[in-house]
Structure 1
Amino acid sequence: MTITTTNAFTVNHIQEQLILVLNDMIQGWDMDFLEPINAETRLIGDLGFESVDLMQLIVAIEQAFGVRGLPYEQVLMQDGGYVTEITVRQLTAFLQRSIPLHGASPLQPLPSLAS
Protein backbone atom coordinates (compact mmCIF):
# COMPACT_ATOMS: atom_id res chain seq x y z
CA MET A 1 0.00 0.00 0.00
CA THR A 2 1.31 3.44 -0.92
CA ILE A 3 0.77 6.31 1.50
CA THR A 4 0.58 9.70 -0.12
CA THR A 5 2.58 12.41 1.60
CA THR A 6 1.66 16.04 1.17
CA ASN A 7 3.50 18.51 3.39
CA ALA A 8 4.22 15.59 5.78
CA PHE A 9 0.49 15.09 6.35
CA THR A 10 0.10 11.42 5.52
CA VAL A 11 -3.28 9.80 5.25
CA ASN A 12 -2.40 7.61 8.23
CA HIS A 13 -1.34 10.60 10.37
CA ILE A 14 -4.51 12.50 9.56
CA GLN A 15 -6.72 9.48 10.19
CA GLU A 16 -5.02 8.72 13.52
CA GLN A 17 -5.47 12.32 14.67
CA LEU A 18 -9.08 12.39 13.47
CA ILE A 19 -9.86 9.17 15.34
CA LEU A 20 -8.34 10.67 18.52
CA VAL A 21 -10.54 13.76 18.08
CA LEU A 22 -13.63 11.59 17.54
CA ASN A 23 -12.84 9.39 20.55
CA ASP A 24 -12.47 12.48 22.74
CA MET A 25 -15.81 13.82 21.46
CA ILE A 26 -17.80 10.64 22.13
CA GLN A 27 -16.06 9.75 25.40
CA GLY A 28 -18.81 11.21 27.57
CA TRP A 29 -21.74 10.08 25.42
CA ASP A 30 -24.03 7.51 26.96
CA MET A 31 -23.83 5.10 24.03
CA ASP A 32 -22.38 1.66 23.57
CA PHE A 33 -20.20 1.39 20.49
CA LEU A 34 -19.63 -2.16 19.28
CA GLU A 35 -16.51 -1.42 17.25
CA PRO A 36 -13.56 0.92 17.74
CA ILE A 37 -13.56 3.89 15.39
CA ASN A 38 -11.85 3.10 12.09
CA ALA A 39 -11.79 4.30 8.48
CA GLU A 40 -15.21 2.81 7.73
CA THR A 41 -16.96 4.24 10.80
CA ARG A 42 -19.97 6.31 9.77
CA LEU A 43 -20.31 9.52 11.75
CA ILE A 44 -24.09 9.64 11.53
CA GLY A 45 -25.07 5.96 11.33
CA ASP A 46 -22.50 4.49 13.72
CA LEU A 47 -21.69 7.37 16.08
CA GLY A 48 -25.08 9.08 16.04
CA PHE A 49 -23.77 12.49 15.00
CA GLU A 50 -26.27 15.28 14.46
CA SER A 51 -25.64 18.63 12.80
CA VAL A 52 -24.50 20.25 16.06
CA ASP A 53 -22.00 17.42 16.56
CA LEU A 54 -20.60 18.02 13.07
CA MET A 55 -20.09 21.70 13.91
CA GLN A 56 -18.30 20.76 17.15
CA LEU A 57 -16.17 18.31 15.17
CA ILE A 58 -15.13 21.09 12.77
CA VAL A 59 -13.96 23.22 15.71
CA ALA A 60 -12.08 20.26 17.21
CA ILE A 61 -10.43 19.50 13.85
CA GLU A 62 -9.35 23.13 13.47
CA GLN A 63 -7.77 23.03 16.93
CA ALA A 64 -6.14 19.64 16.41
CA PHE A 65 -4.64 20.45 13.03
CA GLY A 66 -3.98 24.15 13.59
CA VAL A 67 -5.92 25.27 10.54
CA ARG A 68 -9.05 27.36 10.00
CA GLY A 69 -11.36 28.06 7.14
CA LEU A 70 -11.28 24.71 5.37
CA PRO A 71 -14.06 24.34 2.77
CA TYR A 72 -16.08 21.82 4.78
CA GLU A 73 -19.07 22.33 2.50
CA GLN A 74 -17.20 20.22 -0.06
CA VAL A 75 -17.55 17.18 2.16
CA LEU A 76 -20.63 17.98 4.27
CA MET A 77 -22.95 19.39 1.59
CA GLN A 78 -24.42 17.72 -1.47
CA ASP A 79 -27.09 19.01 -3.85
CA GLY A 80 -27.79 22.01 -1.62
CA GLY A 81 -28.31 20.02 1.59
CA TYR A 82 -26.30 18.24 4.22
CA VAL A 83 -25.02 14.77 3.38
CA THR A 84 -26.89 11.92 5.01
CA GLU A 85 -23.67 10.09 5.87
CA ILE A 86 -19.91 10.56 5.97
CA THR A 87 -17.21 8.09 6.93
CA VAL A 88 -13.91 8.65 8.69
CA ARG A 89 -12.21 7.69 5.40
CA GLN A 90 -14.09 10.39 3.47
CA LEU A 91 -13.31 13.05 6.06
CA THR A 92 -9.66 11.95 6.17
CA ALA A 93 -9.38 12.24 2.37
CA PHE A 94 -10.91 15.72 2.49
CA LEU A 95 -8.48 16.83 5.20
CA GLN A 96 -5.51 15.34 3.36
CA ARG A 97 -6.43 17.38 0.26
CA SER A 98 -7.38 20.58 2.08
CA ILE A 99 -4.94 21.05 4.98
CA PRO A 100 -1.81 21.67 2.86
CA LEU A 101 -3.70 24.28 0.81
CA HIS A 102 -4.39 26.29 3.96
CA GLY A 103 -0.80 26.54 5.16
CA ALA A 104 -0.98 24.30 8.20
CA SER A 105 2.22 22.88 9.58
CA PRO A 106 2.47 19.19 10.42
CA LEU A 107 1.67 18.66 14.07
CA GLN A 108 3.00 16.37 16.73
CA PRO A 109 0.68 13.61 17.93
CA LEU A 110 -2.47 15.05 19.43
CA PRO A 111 -2.79 14.85 23.22
CA SER A 112 -6.17 13.95 24.64
CA LEU A 113 -8.58 16.88 24.39
CA ALA A 114 -10.24 15.75 27.61
CA SER A 115 -7.29 16.77 29.77
Structure 2
Amino acid sequence: MTKHKIYTMSFASVYPHYVTKAEKKGRTKAEVDEIICWLTGYSDQELEAQLEQQTDFETFFADAPKMNPSRTLIKGVVCGVRVEDIEEPTMQEIRYLDKLIDELAKGKAMEKILRKG
Protein backbone atom coordinates (compact mmCIF):
# COMPACT_ATOMS: atom_id res chain seq x y z
CA MET A 1 0.00 0.00 0.00
CA THR A 2 1.42 3.41 -0.93
CA LYS A 3 1.70 6.11 1.70
CA HIS A 4 -0.68 9.02 1.61
CA LYS A 5 0.95 12.08 0.04
CA ILE A 6 0.57 14.16 3.23
CA TYR A 7 2.94 11.82 5.11
CA THR A 8 5.88 12.84 2.96
CA MET A 9 5.06 16.56 2.88
CA SER A 10 7.15 18.70 5.20
CA PHE A 11 5.30 19.91 8.26
CA ALA A 12 6.91 23.32 7.64
CA SER A 13 5.19 23.59 4.25
CA VAL A 14 1.73 23.28 5.85
CA TYR A 15 2.42 25.15 9.09
CA PRO A 16 2.05 28.65 7.53
CA HIS A 17 -1.44 27.63 6.36
CA TYR A 18 -2.40 26.78 9.94
CA VAL A 19 -1.15 30.19 11.07
CA THR A 20 -2.87 32.03 8.22
CA LYS A 21 -6.17 30.25 8.89
CA ALA A 22 -5.99 31.29 12.55
CA GLU A 23 -4.85 34.87 11.89
CA LYS A 24 -7.64 35.46 9.35
CA LYS A 25 -10.05 34.85 12.22
CA GLY A 26 -8.24 37.11 14.68
CA ARG A 27 -6.26 34.38 16.42
CA THR A 28 -2.46 34.25 16.77
CA LYS A 29 0.57 32.22 15.74
CA ALA A 30 1.27 31.77 19.47
CA GLU A 31 -2.10 30.04 19.86
CA VAL A 32 -1.34 27.76 16.90
CA ASP A 33 2.01 26.89 18.47
CA GLU A 34 0.36 26.26 21.85
CA ILE A 35 -2.07 23.82 20.21
CA ILE A 36 0.71 21.98 18.36
CA CYS A 37 2.83 21.75 21.51
CA TRP A 38 -0.17 20.58 23.58
CA LEU A 39 -0.95 17.85 21.06
CA THR A 40 2.60 16.59 20.48
CA GLY A 41 4.60 17.41 23.59
CA TYR A 42 7.15 19.42 21.60
CA SER A 43 8.54 22.48 23.37
CA ASP A 44 8.52 25.78 21.47
CA GLN A 45 12.22 25.27 20.68
CA GLU A 46 11.67 21.68 19.51
CA LEU A 47 8.78 22.80 17.30
CA GLU A 48 10.98 25.48 15.78
CA ALA A 49 13.71 22.88 15.13
CA GLN A 50 11.21 20.59 13.39
CA LEU A 51 10.13 23.47 11.16
CA GLU A 52 13.75 24.39 10.33
CA GLN A 53 14.59 20.75 9.52
CA GLN A 54 11.62 20.49 7.12
CA THR A 55 10.55 17.30 8.90
CA ASP A 56 7.84 15.36 7.06
CA PHE A 57 4.44 14.81 8.72
CA GLU A 58 5.04 11.13 9.39
CA THR A 59 8.33 11.80 11.18
CA PHE A 60 6.93 14.89 12.94
CA PHE A 61 4.28 12.77 14.66
CA ALA A 62 6.43 9.64 15.07
CA ASP A 63 9.14 11.66 16.85
CA ALA A 64 6.73 13.69 18.99
CA PRO A 65 7.96 13.63 22.59
CA LYS A 66 4.59 12.78 24.15
CA MET A 67 1.29 12.74 22.32
CA ASN A 68 -1.31 14.21 24.66
CA PRO A 69 -3.57 11.46 26.05
CA SER A 70 -6.50 13.92 26.06
CA ARG A 71 -6.40 14.04 22.24
CA THR A 72 -8.83 11.11 22.22
CA LEU A 73 -11.43 13.60 23.47
CA ILE A 74 -11.22 15.36 20.08
CA LYS A 75 -14.38 14.52 18.16
CA GLY A 76 -15.94 15.80 14.99
CA VAL A 77 -15.61 15.92 11.23
CA VAL A 78 -12.62 17.06 9.18
CA CYS A 79 -12.72 16.75 5.39
CA GLY A 80 -15.96 14.78 5.67
CA VAL A 81 -14.47 12.12 7.97
CA ARG A 82 -15.06 11.70 11.72
CA VAL A 83 -11.64 12.02 13.36
CA GLU A 84 -12.51 9.46 16.04
CA ASP A 85 -13.24 6.85 13.33
CA ILE A 86 -9.91 7.16 11.46
CA GLU A 87 -8.10 3.84 11.82
CA GLU A 88 -4.64 4.77 10.48
CA PRO A 89 -2.77 6.28 13.47
CA THR A 90 -0.67 8.89 11.65
CA MET A 91 -3.63 10.13 9.62
CA GLN A 92 -5.67 10.37 12.82
CA GLU A 93 -2.95 12.52 14.46
CA ILE A 94 -2.89 14.81 11.40
CA ARG A 95 -6.68 15.14 11.48
CA TYR A 96 -6.67 15.80 15.23
CA LEU A 97 -4.39 18.76 14.53
CA ASP A 98 -6.60 19.91 11.65
CA LYS A 99 -9.65 19.75 13.92
CA LEU A 100 -7.94 21.77 16.67
CA ILE A 101 -6.90 24.47 14.17
CA ASP A 102 -10.49 24.53 12.83
CA GLU A 103 -11.78 25.04 16.37
CA LEU A 104 -9.30 27.89 16.91
CA ALA A 105 -10.38 29.57 13.67
CA LYS A 106 -14.04 29.22 14.69
CA GLY A 107 -13.37 31.23 17.83
CA LYS A 108 -13.51 28.44 20.39
CA ALA A 109 -11.84 29.25 23.73
CA MET A 110 -8.32 27.83 24.18
CA GLU A 111 -9.43 26.10 27.38
CA LYS A 112 -11.99 24.10 25.38
CA ILE A 113 -9.66 23.47 22.44
CA LEU A 114 -7.07 22.04 24.83
CA ARG A 115 -9.74 19.85 26.46
CA LYS A 116 -9.27 21.29 29.96
CA GLY A 117 -11.81 20.80 32.70
TM-score per shorter chain, which class? 0.3 to 0.5
Q: Give the alignment's TM-score, normalised by structure 1.
A: 0.38
Task: Indicate the structure with greater helix content.
Answer: 2
Q: Give the alignment's TM-score, normalised by structure 2.
A: 0.37
- Higher RCO, 1 vs 2 (CA within 8 Å, ≥6 residues apart): 1
